[in-house]
Amino acid sequence: MPARDARPRASGTPGRPSRDARPRREARPRRDARPAAPVPGEGLVIGTVPPAVRAVGLLLVLAAVAGMVSAVPTYLEVGGRDLVLGGSLPGVLLTWFVPLVTGAVGVTLLRSAVPRFGLAYAAVAGALSAGQLLIELYRGRGSVDRPAVEVLAGERVLTSDLQIGAGWITGVVALALTMLAGALAAWLWGRTVMEDAGALDPVRGPLGGASVLLGVGTVLCLTLPAADVQDELVTEPGTGLVVVVPQEGPQALLERPGLALLGGLLFAGALLLCAVVAPSLRPRLGAVGGLLAIAVTVLDAGLAGLRDAVASDDLVWTVPGAGLLAAGLGFGVLTALAWRVRRRP
C-alpha cells in the first residue's frame, strides 16, 4: 500500500483561504440607551422611572378633585345648621389651596417629569394626611359622644347633634387618597433614578436646621387654638368690681379626646419627622418637593385660623394662629431658597 502523506492539508477548497485563515471582524460594542442630557449648570440626570410613578400622579389628581368638590356641598349639619366649607369666597379659596398644589404636582408625575420632586411631595403630604384623617373621622363620627365647642367651617358650634354631609365624605376621600399616594411614593423612591450635581449640598446643614426650628415652632403653636373666644368682662352690681368670666372656646389640636388626640399626636410627630428628613432628600428637587408639602400644610392651618377670626364675631385671632401663619411662610421661604440654589455653568 502506498504510504499516506502525513503533511497537514489546508481545509477548504484550493485557491480559497480557510475559514480559520479569514480575518475576523472585531465585535462592535453595543450601544446602550443614551442617558438623558444633563441640564446645564444643574447636572440633573433622570434615569429609570417606574411606570407606577404615574399611578402616584393619578392618585394625587383624584385627591385634588375630591378636595375641591368638598367645598361645595354640606360639610356637617350641626344643630340643624348646614355648614359648608366654601360658604364664602375666602372659604372656597382656602379649601382649594392645598388641592390646587396637589393637583399640579400630580400632573408632573403623570408626565414623568422630575419624578423625585413629585414623589417627595406625595410622601410628605401622605404622612401629614394620616393625622388629619383621624381628626376628621373624630369630627364626623365621635365628637357627639363628648359634646364640646368647636370651630367647624368657620362657625363656632356645639357638637351635641351632628350629621355628616357630602362635603365631609369627599374631604375624607381626599385625605385617604393622599395617604395611599404617599405610601406608594415611599415605596417607589429607591426604585426611581434621578440625580444632580449636588448644588444644594453646601447649604443642606443650615437649611435643615432652619426647617427643624420651624417644625418645633409649628408644633408649639398647634397646642393652642389659632382662633379663640375672648373672656367676658362682667361688672358686679353691688360692688362695682369688674370680674373676668372665662368663656368656653374651641379645642386645640392636642386637647381633643380619643381618636382626635391620636390624630393630633400623629400629625405633630409626622411634621417634626418630615421637617428633619425633607431638606436631606436628593436630588435638590426632592428637597424642594418635601418642603413644599410642609409649607402648604402649615400655611393652610394658619390661614384657616385667620379665616375663622375674620368670619366670626365671637372669635379673635390668637398669637399661636399668627405663629402658624408665620411658620407656613417660613417653610415657603425655605422652599424658594432650595429652588433657587443652582450651580452656575
Angstrom distance (rounded) from CA 195 to CA 201 = 12
| DSSP string of 192-203, one letter each residue | S-EE---TTGGG
Top mean-pLDDT range of 236-240, 303-307, 311-315: 303-307
Question: Is residue 181 assigned to a domain?
Answer: yes
Question: Is residue 4 assigned to a domain?
Answer: no
Percentage of residues of the chain with pLDDT beyond 90 = 48
DSSP conformation class of 114: S
Question: Is residue 25 assigned to a domain?
Answer: no
Strand partners, 152: 155
46-55, 107-116, 155-164, 262-271: least confidently modelled range? 155-164
Looking at residues 81-98, what average pLDDT do you find? 87
Angstrom distance (rounded) from CA 24 to CA 344 = 49
Torsion angle, alpha carbons of 285, 287, 293, 294, to 10: -150
Read off φ and ψ for residue 75, nearest 5 degrees: -80, -60
Question: Is residue 106 assigned to a domain?
Answer: yes
Read off φ and ψ for residue 198, nearest 5 degrees: 80, 40
Question: Is residue 20 assigned to a domain?
Answer: no
- What total number of domains does the chain contain? 1
Cell of 173: 376621600
Angstrom distance (rounded) from CA 184 to CA 172 = 19
What is the average pLDDT value for the chain, to the nearest integer? 83
Strand partners, 232: 245
The answer for residues whose C-beta is within 8 angstroms of residue 22's C-beta and 6 or more apart is none
Please, what is the angle between helix 319-340 and helix 284-311, to 10°?
150
Residue type, 313: D
How confident is the model at residue 27, as a pLDDT?
43
How confident is the model at residue 312, as a pLDDT?
77
Question: Is residue 249 assigned to a domain?
Answer: no
Whether the pLDDT of residue 129 is over 60: the answer is: yes
**Which domain covers residue 331, as residue numbers?**
45-241+261-340
Looking at residues 229-234, what average pLDDT do you find? 67
Angstrom distance (rounded) from CA 156 to CA 246 = 16
Angstrom distance (rounded) from CA 302 to CA 224 = 12
Tens digit of each residue's pLDDT (9 = 90 or more) over 246-271: 566 677 777 777 888 899 999 999 99
Read off φ and ψ for residue 209, nearest 5 degrees: -65, -45
β-pairing, 227-229 vs 232-235, is unpaired
Cell of 82: 348646614
Question: Is residue 36 assigned to a domain?
Answer: no
Top mean-pLDDT range of 215-224, 230-239, 242-251: 215-224
Question: Is residue 210 assigned to a domain?
Answer: yes
